[in-house]
């Protein structure tokens, strides 16, 4: 416990170092992980043949993808005792939840919502690192020896509200809280589907509340109605694993009176960042991870500009190295410093996955319909609690909306806002949109995460040959729209 405390406090100091010193630490650890991977992984030894770990630059390393790591899994891992078939059998058995694979590894898998799941094994020391980050860099209170002593005398009460336990990465993290961190925490883990979740939270009186954005927003509604009473003891609210919209942030912050710290991470690097305690976004833990925001050709994009994807390097996982690992997240890095004082790079926005976009057809060519069309329109609809855009045909969309309790829909106002967005982005007259009011929009039952962007048709198979590169002409006339009082059974059954 003493070792964990000292190491955690040192982690806090690094975030105040100047950028040059942090980059020196990062380069040293990059060379170390590449050297280790080449020595112990047949896959990386072959992939990075000719690379001198002592003199490499990040750009010298060819990116890796989920498909190639999974196809060659047994040669990627650095422990020859790990076999994909054994790991899959381990993860298929619910009785193994909370247990370590081969007695020493934390094992998980990604949801597979974007295709094939990624199997993940990591040393248990990585969970200690992650909790060290959370208790210092991800803490709303300033981490000091005095604060550590206070938490020993009065442990933080951490309430975790997710869908369920299992082998998805965030669940395995919470199931693997290191023994050294437990004296500082009392933990209540609830499912959002528990019928008594509100009363149990009231009884527990958490100082820290963490969950998916959709769950936090629903709890905020209970707080607004006076059913959930967490103040004044609640010190911190943390969003994990789901995109936090600006409006959801405002609603949660208003209900709880606390800034929402918005973590950004992936299963392949659970400690990638911690939410900024003063501003929007999250600070990348740049001493132990590298986040590159790039375009489709893996070229870096300027801060303030959304990328097409990110490349993530986990500098701590020596068992299953992830080096310049490609993830289809649309991320924008902050171009200005924030008020908290951290010198680490800050993720300003996460706008979902590249795969969570729509492809429409116009004049025999394809182009993207960006989700901002819907998001910006619903910013004007104060009566809407949640929305989901479903592509039911190539150029036909159904937007499903859930209203706030006792609210009524102002249909003409909403359509005018949506029509302005279609006009602005030059989709007017090209796509048709209908709006359907539903009683409830919930998370995907498999992943526990809510998806606002759902395509039932997917990207075109011949996309590369029919990609539109010229700017589309503004079309005359408005796309047809209808508003119905309840969702059609056909649409609702096809949703997630």
- The residue out of 353, 373, 389 marking a domain boundary is 353
Asked if the structure places residue 486 within a domain, the reply is no
In CATH, what number is assigned to the domain containing residue 136?
A: 3.40.50.12780
Question: What does the pLDDT look like over 251-284, one tens digit per residue?
Answer: 899 999 999 999 999 999 999 999 999 998 999 9
- Mean pLDDT check: name the lowest of 106-120, 233-247, 305-319, 408-422: 106-120
Query: In this model, does residue 364 exceed pLDDT 90?
Result: no
Per-residue pLDDT band at 470 (split at 50, 70, 90): very low
**Residue ranges with strand state E in 196-308:** 208-211, 236-239, 260-262, 273-275, 282-284, 289-294
Asked if the structure places residue 83 within a domain, the reply is yes
Per-residue confidence (pLDDT) for residue 61, from 0 to 100: 96
Q: Can you tell me the mean pLDDT for 294-323?
A: 95
Do 166 and 23 belong to one domain? yes
Where do we find the tokens 């902050």? 334
Do 217 and 319 belong to one domain? yes
Do 91 and 129 belong to one domain? yes
Angle between helices 246-256 and 213-224 (to 10 degrees): 40
Do 303 and 445 belong to one domain? no
Per-residue pLDDT band at 12 (split at 50, 70, 90): confident
Query: In this model, does residue 107 exceed pLDDT 80?
Result: yes
Asked if the structure places residue 483 within a domain, the reply is no
| Counted domains in the chain | 2
In CATH, what number is assigned to the domain containing residue 369?
A: 3.30.300
Per-residue pLDDT band at 496 (split at 50, 70, 90): very low
Question: What does the pLDDT look like over 121-158, one tens digit per residue?
Answer: 999 888 888 888 888 888 888 877 787 788 888 888 99
Do 345 and 362 belong to one domain? no
DSSP for residue 461: T
Asked if the structure places residue 400 within a domain, the reply is yes
Do 439 and 340 belong to one domain? no
- The residue out of 353, 372, 401 marking a domain boundary is 353
Query: In this model, does residue 399 exceed pLDDT 80?
Result: yes
Do 12 and 45 belong to one domain? yes
Provide the domain limits for residue 82. 1-353
Q: Give per-residue burial for 113-152: e unless 16+ CB within 10 Å, then b.
A: ebeebbbbbbbeebbbbbbbbbbbbbbbeebeeeebeebe
Per-residue confidence (pLDDT) for residue 495, from 0 to 100: 32
CA–CA dist 92, 7 (Å, integer): 35
Asked if the structure places residue 419 within a domain, the reply is yes
CA–CA dist 357, 375 (Å, integer): 13
Asked if the structure places residue 128 within a domain, the reply is yes
Do 279 and 419 belong to one domain? no
Query: 208 - beta bridge partners?
Result: 158, 236
**Residue ranges with strand state E in 296-451:** 309-314, 325-327, 329-333, 346-353, 358-362, 365-369, 384-393, 396-403, 432-437
CA–CA dist 81, 59 (Å, integer): 32
Contacts of 299 (CB under 8 A, 6+ apart): none
Do 182 and 275 belong to one domain? yes
| β-pairing verdict for 273-275 and 236-239 | unpaired
Asked if the structure places residue 407 within a domain, the reply is yes
CA–CA dist 35, 314 (Å, integer): 14
Do 193 and 321 belong to one domain? yes
Under a CB-based contact definition with an 8 Å cutoff, are residues 244 and 416 in contact? no
Q: What is the pTM of this model?
A: 0.76
Do 322 and 375 belong to one domain? no
Asked if the structure places residue 160 within a domain, the reply is yes
Q: Can you tell me the mean pLDDT for 389-414?
A: 89
- Mean pLDDT check: name the lowest of 174-188, 398-412, 450-464: 450-464
């Amino acid at each position: 416990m003493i070792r964990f405390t000292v190491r955690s406090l040192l982690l806090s100091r690094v975030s105040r170092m100047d950028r040059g010193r942090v980059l020196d630490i990062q380069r040293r650890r990059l060379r170390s992980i590449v050297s280790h991977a080449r020595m112990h992984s047949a896959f990386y030894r072959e992939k990075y043949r000719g690379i001198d770990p002592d003199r490499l630059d990040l750009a010298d390393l060819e990116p890796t993808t989920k498909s190639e790591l999974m196809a060659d899994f047994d040669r990627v891992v650095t422990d020859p005792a790990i076999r994909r078939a054994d790991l899959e059998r381990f993860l298929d058995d619910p009785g193994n939840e909370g247990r370590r694979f081969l007695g020493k590894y934390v094992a998980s898998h990604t949801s597979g919502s974007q295709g094939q799941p990624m199997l993940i094994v990591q040393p248990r020391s990585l969970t200690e690192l992650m909790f060290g980050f959370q208790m210092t860099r991800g803490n709303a209170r300033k981490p000091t020896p005095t604060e550590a002593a206070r938490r020993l005398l009065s442990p933080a009460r951490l309430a975790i509200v997710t869908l369920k336990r299992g082998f998805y990465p965030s669940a395995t993290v919470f199931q693997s809280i290191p023994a050294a961190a437990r004296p500082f925490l009392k933990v209540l883990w609830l499912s959002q589907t528990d019928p008594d979740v509100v009363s149990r939270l009231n009884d527990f009186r958490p100082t820290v509340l963490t969950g998916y954005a959709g769950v936090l927003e629903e709890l905020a509604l209970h707080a607004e109605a006076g059913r959930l009473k967490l103040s004044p003891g609640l010190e911190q609210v943390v969003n994990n694993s789901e995109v936090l919209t600006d409006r959801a942030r405002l609603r949660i912050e208003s209900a709880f009176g606390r800034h929402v710290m918005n973590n950004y991470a992936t299963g392949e690097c659970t400690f990638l960042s911690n939410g900024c305690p003063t501003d929007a976004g999250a600070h990348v833990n740049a001493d132990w991870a590298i986040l590159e925001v790039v375009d489709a050709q893996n070229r870096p994009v300027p801060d303030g500009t959304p990328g097409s994807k990110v490349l993530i390097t986990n500098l701590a996982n020596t068992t299953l190295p992830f080096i310049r690992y490609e993830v289809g997240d649309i991320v924008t890095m902050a171009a200005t410093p924030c008020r908290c004082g951290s010198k680490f790079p800050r993720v300003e926005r996460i706008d979902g996955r590249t795969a969570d976009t729509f492809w429409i057809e116009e004049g025999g060519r394809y182009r993207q319909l960006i989700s901002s069309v819907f998001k910006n329109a619903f910013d004007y609809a104060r009566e809407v609690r949640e929305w989901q855009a479903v592509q039911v045909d190539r150029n036909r969309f159904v937007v499903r909306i859930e209203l706030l309790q006792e609210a009524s829909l102002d249909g003409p106002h909403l359509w005018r806002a949506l029509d302005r967005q279609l006009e602005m982005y030059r989709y007017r007259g090209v796509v048709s949109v209908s709006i359907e009011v539903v009683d409830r929009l919930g998370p995907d039952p498999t992943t526990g995460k809510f998806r606002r962007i759902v395509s039932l048709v997917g990207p075109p198979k011949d996309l590369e040959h029919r990609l539109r590169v010229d700017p589309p002409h503004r079309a005359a006339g408005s796309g047809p729209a209808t508003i119905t009082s309840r969702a059609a059974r056909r649409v609702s059954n096809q949703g997630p």
